Amino acid sequence: MNVLIEKELNKTEKILKPDFTTKAGREVFALYLYSKFNQILNYDKQHQTPIFKSINPKFIHKFINRIINNPEKHFLIGISGESASGKTTICNTIKQITEKLNMPIEILSADNYFKDISSLIKEKGSFDKLLEAGYDVDSPNNFNMEQLFIDLEMLSRGTDVKIPQYLVNGTGVVIPHAIDKQAKKIIVVEGMATMYGAVADLFDVKIYVDIDPAIQEKWFLYRAQTSRNQNEENAKKQLAYVREASKKYILPKKDNSDIIINGASSLDYFIQIIEFIYKITNNFSNPQ
């Protein structure tokens, strides 16, 4: 990938910018992106730890049609996968590098659309005791899917929104209309709720982050003990619950993804791919 990026960075000639207001111009742009995407895939296959594990054969055709025939709609990218698969880390990396490069990307977590369960937690005494009582926190019924659908539709049409904030401090409290989100050209949404119901059909690109179970366990226990104040015993109990919930709600949706990526791939390498995407999408000169 380093060689690929260096070749792009060292190019002095620019490509004449297509006229995106015309279908012909968008077709040129779509074919250009298609050729560059194939370049990325070919280089990735040679990497020690490739990022791309599989691509849905229908995806490229769908993506090109989307660019050509529906240019006004903002792009929605959904990132899903099991807990502790690396979704949030990947999104944080995207946020850091895209802010540095001034790319028009907004990122939000679908976990903020958990329903408020503060009264249930108070009734049982703690979040862990609520789980022990059989509360199925990962069920689609426990997300405010209607509001998530409305907010994503508004963002895709270019309207800013205020999304809720779910407090990850064990209280189960949700603060409505707490976080401002801008309708930038690309909206990246992370979380298991991106896979559920009608919301899943809103996304132009559906990415599934796959992870080896041993790495997942290591990351899950580390996160639980360092940032969520859980002891090892409770963390292991919750991991067992998470894995059972994944079998019901997440793994069956994996094959519906457009792209499956490796959550354990190098973040530095992932950053290089983003930099390459930035370079190829900004390598245009304006018509004289």
What pLDDT band is residue 69 in, cutting at 50, 70 and 90? very high
For residue 219, what pLDDT is reported?
92
What phi-psi label fits residue 21: left (phi over 0), alpha (psi between -120 and 50 degrees) or beta? alpha
User: What secondary structure letter does DSSP report for 174?
Assistant: E
Please, which residues have CB within 8 angstroms of residue 21's CB and are 6 or more apart in sequence? Answer: none
Helix (H) or strand (E) holding 186: strand 186-190
Question: Would you say residue 11 has pLDDT above 70?
Answer: no
User: How high is the pLDDT of residue 7?
Assistant: 63
The model's pLDDT over 135-164, given as tens digits with 9 standing for 90+, comes to: 888 899 999 999 999 999 999 999 999 999
pLDDT band, residue 55 (cuts 50/70/90): very high
What is the average pLDDT score of the chain?
89
Examine the pLDDT at 288 and tell me if it is beyond 90: no
Torsion region of 221: left, alpha or beta (phi above 0 gives left; psi -120 to 50 gives alpha): alpha
Q: What pTM value is reported for the model?
A: 0.90
Phi and psi (nearest 5°) for 118? -60, -40
Give residue 12's pLDDT.
Answer: 58
Using CA atoms, how far apart are residues 285 and 288, in angstroms rounded to an integer? 9
Ordered by where they begin, the domains of the chain are 1-51+265-288 (no CATH), 70-264 (3.40.50.300)
Report, as an integer, the average pLDDT of 57-65.
Answer: 90
Average pLDDT rounded to a whole number, residues 255-279? 91
pLDDT at res. 9: 56
pLDDT > 90: percent of the chain: 57
Each residue's pLDDT tens digit, 72-120: 999 999 999 998 999 989 999 999 999 999 999 999 999 999 999 999 9
Nearest to 212 by CA among 47, 85, 88, 44: 85
- Element at 100 (helix H, strand E): helix 87-101
User: DSSP letters along 118-167, please?
Assistant: HHHHHHHSSHHHHHHTT--TTSGGGB-HHHHHHHHHHHHTT--EEEEEE-
At which residue do the structure tokens 């401090």 appear?
169
- At residue 223, the pLDDT reads 86
Kindly give, in sequence order, each residue whose CB lies less than 8 Å from that of residue 280, ignoring residues fewer than 6 positions away: 8, 32, 33, 36
Helix (H, G, I), strand (E, B) or coil at 207: strand
Whether 285 has a pLDDT exceeding 80, the answer reads no
**pLDDT given for residue 181 in this prediction:** 97
pLDDT of residue 17: 77
